[in-house]
Amino acid sequence: MEKFIKHTGLVVPLDRVNVDTDQIIPKQFLKRIERTGFGIFAFYDWRYLEDGVPNPDFILNNKKYVGSSILIAGPNFGSGSSREHAPWALSEYGFKVIISNSFADIFRNNCMQNGLITIELSNDKIDLLMSNAIKIDNYKLTVDLENQQIYDQFGFESIFDFDEFRKESILKGLDDIGLTLKFEEDIKRYEINDAKIS
Amino acid sequence: MDENLTMFEKIWRKHIVSEPTNQPSILYIDLHLVHEVTSPQAFESLRLNKREVRRPDLTIATVDHNITTDETRTQIIKDKIARKQVETIRENCKENNIELFDVWDNEQGIVHVIGPEQGYTQPGMTIVCGDSHTSTHGAFGALAFGIGTSEVEHVLATQTLRQRKPKTMKVDFKGTLSKGVTAKDMILKLIGQIGTAGGTGYVIEYSGEAVQNLSMEGRMTICNMSIEGGARAGMIAPDKITFDWMKGRNKVPKGNDWDKSVKEWKQLETDNKAKFDSYIDLDCDNLEPYVSWGTNPSQVLPISGVIPSPDDFKEILDAQSCQNALVYMGLNTGSKITDIKLDRVFIGSCTNARITDLRSAASIVEGKKVNNNVRAQVMPGSTLTKLQAEKEGIDKIFKSAGFEWRESGCSMCLGMNPDILSPRERCASTSNRNFEGRQGKDGRTHLVSPEMAAAAAIEGHFVDVRDWK
Ligand code: SF4
């Protein structure tokens, strides 16, 4: 997994609620057998018009937000399908952090597995950051995972919750399976006992 | 033991391999279901790391998501990238000794239909799959939930998962359903009430008279859609209906082992005094058939309803969401649900394409004709379901009414194969997601029960099946 320690990046506001994973990466792109090649299709139906031309009204196509690496969106981000292609697409697009009022469970898990940081903030903080990203040119945020802090250069500062175990893994870029296999003895014991019972 | 435990807690505890401090628990997985779309990257990474599949005997695979629903699929899958994906799962299963139910096998079908159908799914189990509707299997009193591809790899390699313990919610469906009202309507109403994130962080246990009276198929419909309310898992205590449904199926215990298992399974139910983190009661006595009008499964209305206005919502985000949905769906505030005209009808998916679903829908269309403006299709949930239906003559009823009778698979539930809606086509669908573009770019999906979909196919618009003849 790619490490994440601290990141400063341009913020793009996606002012939509319930952004589901079908939206993040539509199904016609799920046929690939690789983990890569999804970034160009992220938000496809919103990003492109019917003839494949970029939709000028979609926020990611706005010149102001080219090169953004922090996405801020409305509540229940990542709901629906469990497709991990969604975080793969977002990462490959260039996002390192997603900020929302709330995330769907499976999506959040999938992000953790890929070192894509999900940050939940209260409604008023989301509103503030959303409007900053709209009003202020080149609006940037810094995310410090180690200290679980997020701040800008205009005085905004907040701490955020993050699973301790996941944080360690992401800071060090550890492999989840490797960590679990340290418990090989426990797994074996479980399997032996289980076989005895049934 | 005088401790009072929920069914969830009992299953959770039994499957703990280890509880390292400050780390998520390591949970043993009894059954891992695999399909072609969310597994290739997991197998690939396993190979790169020189790891093996730990328990091929607890893993089964099928092809369901991207395959076509015409008969040519046993010869060739025309879409090259889809074909590659199917060939990849074939190679992966062969290489790792995993049983695969392929397009030419009778056991092929939508992963959440075939698990229960063949008796792989059993009470008390932990079940996972790289698919969010794994919650379906909870209808048997199992703890079943969807996972991402990295977690698929984790399960393949270790037969365990890292999990923080979720919270528990109890949803009590009180009262009795009227004729024509179904499990689909119960769950749509619930999601309408709690919202698409209402169950986030929870495992839901469904109980109450209305649930106890449901068939296993109905219970699966309810558990299936738990994820649409944000809950990763839904479950229902196993009872006589469960055991009767399971008995004799391919993979369930036989003879004395069966009796022993049933005895154990009966212990699973939530203890009387066990506490949940949250409670919801819902009355089913006056429940109407439900129809979704918007672009997420919480935007639903009873059949007597009228399309809302953004002003009807207190929360600004809900108002916005309503506004977006009205535009996308091409609907006007104030128009009646029964005035919504349809172009397509899809009876299929892991929510509502089991044999009882097909029987109910067939009984509605029998002797009638599909409306001239409507193209109607049935994609049975599994090949065995299809064969069973054909044995009962259900295919003939559909066909003579003007429905297309096709092969099994996910098909238009997610539109990865050529079965998709054209832009702005409007579809009554028995599936579970009405997201923008789900059934095809700019396609418009209305979620309903099989009965409601069938009646809509005949009339060309939604009708109240309760008083429709
Ligand atoms: S039928 Fe639809 S919801 Fe069910 S597994 Fe297939 S794609 Fe997913």
Note the pLDDT tens digit of each residue in B338-395. Answer: 999 999 999 999 999 999 999 999 999 999 999 999 999 999 999 999 999 999 999 9
**Residue A195 confidence (pLDDT):** 77
- Helices B355-365 and B450-459: crossing angle in degrees, nearest 10, is 30
**Residue A51 confidence (pLDDT):** 85
A49 and chain B in contact, CB less than 8 A: no
Residue ranges of B 367-426 with Cβ closer than 8 A to chain A: 414-416, 423
**B433 Cα to the center of ligand 1, angstroms:** 9
A79 and chain B in contact, CB less than 8 A: yes
Residue keyed to tokens 């975080």: A87
Please state, as a whole number, how many other Cβ atoms lie within 10 Å of the Cβ of residue A49: 12
For the cut 70, the answer to whether the pLDDT of residue B221 exceeds it is: yes
Query: Beta strands of B229-330 (E only): which ranges?
Result: 233-235, 278-283, 290-292, 300-302
Mean per-residue pLDDT for A38-58? 94
- Choose among A76, A102, A106: nearest Cβ to B132: A106
Residue keyed to tokens 């469990």: A82
**Residue A194 binned pLDDT confidence (cut-offs 50, 70, 90):** confident
For the cut 80, the answer to whether the pLDDT of residue B274 exceeds it is: yes
**Dihedral, CA atoms, B183, B175, B277, B194, nearest 10 degrees?**
50
Query: What predicted TM-score, i.e. pTM, was given to this entire model?
Result: 0.96
- Averaged pLDDT of chain A: 95
Cβ contacts of B334 within 8 Å, gap of 6 or more: B306, B307, B309
Percent of chain B with pLDDT over 90: 95
For the cut 80, the answer to whether the pLDDT of residue B246 exceeds it is: yes
CA separation (Å) from B318 to A57, B280, B299?
Answer: 22, 22, 10
B65 CB less than 6 Å from ligand 1?
yes
The residue among B52, A52, B437, B418 whose CA lies nearest residue B427 is B437
Q: What tokens appear for B286 in the block?
A: 């006056």
**B133 Cα to the center of ligand 1, angstroms:** 7
Mean per-residue pLDDT for A171-183? 94
**Residue B413 binned pLDDT confidence (cut-offs 50, 70, 90):** very high
CA separation (Å) from B411 to B70, B109, B381?
Answer: 10, 11, 10
Q: How far is A166 from chain B (nearest CA, A)?
A: 8
A174 and chain B in contact, CB less than 8 A: no
A27 and chain B in contact, CB less than 8 A: yes
* B300-342 pLDDT per residue, tens: 999 999 999 999 999 888 999 999 999 999 999 999 999 999 9
* B430-465 pLDDT per residue, tens: 999 999 999 999 999 999 999 999 999 999 999 999
User: Which residues in A lie closer than 8 A to residue B149 (C-beta atoms)?
Assistant: 84-85, 110
**Residue B50 confidence (pLDDT):** 96
**Residue B1 confidence (pLDDT):** 53
User: Which residues in B lie closer than 8 A to residue A20 (C-beta atoms)?
Assistant: 296, 433, 435
Q: How far is B253 from chain A (nearest CA, A)?
A: 11
Consecutive H or E run containing A177: helix A176-181
**Residue A2 binned pLDDT confidence (cut-offs 50, 70, 90):** confident
**Residue B317 confidence (pLDDT):** 86
* B32-87 pLDDT per residue, tens: 999 999 999 999 999 999 999 999 999 999 999 999 999 889 888 889 999 999 99
For the cut 80, the answer to whether the pLDDT of residue A110 exceeds it is: yes
Q: Do B18 and A183 touch (CB under 8 A)?
A: yes
**Number of C-alpha atoms within 13 angstroms, CB side, residue B287?**
27
User: Which residues in B lie closer than 8 A to residue A84 (C-beta atoms)?
Assistant: 38, 41, 130, 148-150
For chain B, what is the radius of gyration of the CA atoms? 21
- Averaged pLDDT of chain B: 96
Alpha-helical runs (H) found in B131-276: 149-158, 183-194, 209-212, 216-224, 240-246, 255-266
**Residue A198 confidence (pLDDT):** 54
Residues pairing with A100 in the sheet: A73, A120
**Residue B392 confidence (pLDDT):** 98
* B119-146 pLDDT per residue, tens: 999 999 999 999 999 999 999 999 999 9
B154 CB less than 6 Å from ligand 1?
no
A33 and chain B in contact, CB less than 8 A: yes
B131 CB less than 6 Å from ligand 1?
yes
Q: How far is A8 from chain B (nearest CA, A)?
A: 27
**Residue A41 binned pLDDT confidence (cut-offs 50, 70, 90):** very high
Q: Which atom of ligand 1 is nearest to the CA of B64?
A: 6
Q: Do A187 and B159 touch (CB under 8 A)?
A: yes
Q: Which atom of ligand 1 is nearest to the CA of B381?
A: 1
Q: Do B17 and A183 touch (CB under 8 A)?
A: yes
Q: Quick one: closest CA in B to A166, which residue?
A: B23
B313 and chain A in contact, CB less than 8 A: no
For the cut 90, the answer to whether the pLDDT of residue B466 exceeds it is: yes
Mean per-residue pLDDT for B247-252? 97
Q: How far is B91 from chain A (nearest CA, A)?
A: 13
**B389 Cα to the center of ligand 1, angstroms:** 20
For the cut 80, the answer to whether the pLDDT of residue B2 exceeds it is: no
* B143-163 pLDDT per residue, tens: 999 999 999 999 999 999 999
**Residue A33 confidence (pLDDT):** 93
* A64-108 pLDDT per residue, tens: 999 999 999 999 999 999 999 999 999 999 999 999 999 999 999
**Residue B459 confidence (pLDDT):** 98
B461 CB less than 6 Å from ligand 1?
no
Q: What's the DSSP call for residue A38?
A: -
Residue ranges of A 117-136 with Cβ closer than 8 A to chain B: none
- Choose among B44, B130, B437: nearest Cβ to A45: B437
**B432 Cα to the center of ligand 1, angstroms:** 8
B444 CB less than 6 Å from ligand 1?
no
Q: How far is B461 from chain A (nearest CA, A)?
A: 27
> Is ipTM > 0.90 here?
yes
